[in-house]
Amino acid sequence: MKRVVFLLLCAMAQGCGKSAASVEEQAAPVALPKPPVVNDSGGAYVLRYFSAAAGELVVAKTPAEVPDGARGQVLVAPEDPNLQGPWLFVADLTKKVGDGYEVRVVDRGEIEKQLAAAKPVPEPAAVAPEAPAAIPAAPGQPAVAAAPAVSKDNDVIIYRTSWCGYCKKAAEYLRTKGVKFVEKDIEKDPNARQDMLARAQKAGVPQSALQGVPILAVKGKIITGFDRNAIDRALGG
């Protein structure tokens, strides 16, 4: 799966291929423009949000089309060529500012540096698990193989991406509560998304509800987005 932030960068750029001169130009500090106004009626821009279920960016014209779980980090792509350049506009559709929403401007060069710093270190090859031991049988009876270990429904898992701020907040919140949990990156781990979908199906949550990240699996329950109250309820207080 392509990394979502890379998709965001390509969506805002004139093209992913750059000459050496333009790369040097972008390495220098840039004067960030005033972000476009994003409100409920829409405007001369498109919104792009990440769908964890689809594993890709989805386009929306108005904030109402963006699902609740994906509203925290939404790319704003303006149609005005004067607003296109080496920067990104990122809206938080959970925060109202007057009649609109909070939109921040991010230097694309800084994001590229963060991506380079966050590049994962290759993990050592996994060791194949040993076959389950046989249970000794009574005299004259055949031995019985032990049942293999299975995932527990009470596991606490955060399905996340490396660039997701709310994923980090969810992890910090669980740490403050002393909860042990596992983090699975749905961009870097090819099995993480399938695991998330399987747990959601078992919990009766449709794929259409799995928009944005984080997605949490808490004691067999699925929580979309960083919701402290929902986490507390799933943990049993």
Which residue, chain included where needed, has tokens 């296109």? 84
Query: Among 117, 145, 166, where does a domain finish?
Result: 117
DSSP state of 104: E
**Which of 35-44, 48-57, 71-80, 203-212 bottoms out in mean pLDDT, i.e. has the lowest?**
48-57
Q: Domain check: are 162 and 216 in the same one?
A: yes
Range of the domain at 38: 4-117
Asked whether residue 222 is domain-assigned, the answer is: yes
pLDDT exceeds cutoff 90 at 216: yes
SS3 label, residue 96: strand
Asked whether residue 108 is domain-assigned, the answer is: yes
**At residue 56, what is the residue type?**
E
Asked whether residue 123 is domain-assigned, the answer is: no
pTM of the model: 0.53
Task: Report the domain count for the chain.
Answer: 2
Q: Domain check: are 85 and 188 in the same one?
A: no
Q: Domain check: are 23 and 101 in the same one?
A: yes
Query: Among 117, 145, 164, where does a domain finish?
Result: 117
Which segments of the chain are extended strands (E)? Answer: 45-51, 56-60, 74-78, 87-97, 100-107, 134-135, 144-145, 156-160, 182-185, 215-218, 221-224
Q: Domain check: are 10 and 102 in the same one?
A: yes
- CATH code assigned at 163: 3.40.30.10
Average confidence score pLDDT of the chain: 75
